[in-house]
Amino acid sequence: MVTAGTIAESWAWRLGYRGVAGTDEAGRGALAGPLVAAAVILPQRSEIDGLQGLCDSKQLTPKVRRLLFRRITASAAAWSFACVTPLEIDEGGLQAANMAAMREAVHSLDPAPDLVLVDYYRIEGLNIPQWSMVHGDIVCRSVAAASILAKVIRDQLMWHWSLQYPQYGFESNKGYGTMRHLGALVSHGPSPCHRSSFHGVLQMEMPLDDEV
């Protein structure tokens, strides 16, 4: 496991930036459920008690992610999140949804950041200085923190969806295309929380409300 460092934040602090935010998203490749983006500003110091294990959320177990979620939200100078619904993804496209969610998450921070660190992308229309970096959720502590917040929030939303539509196994697959999920799509068709424009869902027939 590679623990996220503070090289990017340290450079930003040396250049005079004070409110340095990281942002990331979860659920980009899922067949169902929302896309969730989070943004977080961590305190300006090299070590933060309880956050030494920060890294890309995909490298962590659900239990560790939930623990770090509580520690991040307790220690952050500011944090926020935003969701884009499956319908909005279908109507506007995945990349536009991704940009909209990250932009909303960043703009919801209070206090507002003066620099944003982004994993891979450049956020259109942000109007705040930003640095995009490769593997930001691995090398940048604030981006890793944002990835954990987005993942935990989205997993909780998918758990709620699993109570309404238990046949798809959302509590375990979180809307991604596992064999059980794909089999349920064949047997039951998609639910209202599926992304109807996605391959694997597009060819299925949406059931009527009284058939769900």
Which whole number is the average pLDDT over 116-133? 92
Say if 170 falls within a structural domain: no
Distance between CA atoms of 168 and 160, rounded to whole angstroms? 12
Say if 120 falls within a structural domain: yes
pLDDT digits (tens, 9 = 90+) for 21-40: 999 999 999 999 999 999 99
* 147: containing domain: 7-163
Say if 190 falls within a structural domain: no
CATH code of the domain in which 23 resides: 3.30.420.10
pLDDT digits (tens, 9 = 90+) for 136-178: 777 789 999 999 999 999 999 999 999 999 999 999 999 999 9
Distance between CA atoms of 85 and 166, rounded to whole angstroms? 19
Say if 209 falls within a structural domain: no
Show the tokens assigned to 130: 């930003």
3 state DSSP class of 37: strand
Query: What is the number of domains present in the chain?
Result: 1
Distance between CA atoms of 136 and 158, rounded to whole angstroms? 25
Q: Is the pLDDT confidence value at 206 over 50?
A: no
pLDDT bracket for residue 211 (50, 70, 90)? very low
Instruction: Spell out the residues 6+ positions from residue 113 whose beta carbon is closer than 8 angstroms to its own.
Output: 19, 20, 21, 39, 41, 78, 106, 128
Q: What is the pTM of this model?
A: 0.90
Say if 171 falls within a structural domain: no
Say if 195 falls within a structural domain: no
Among the listed residues 26, 24, 19, 11, the one whose alpha carbon sits nearest the alpha carbon of residue 128: 19
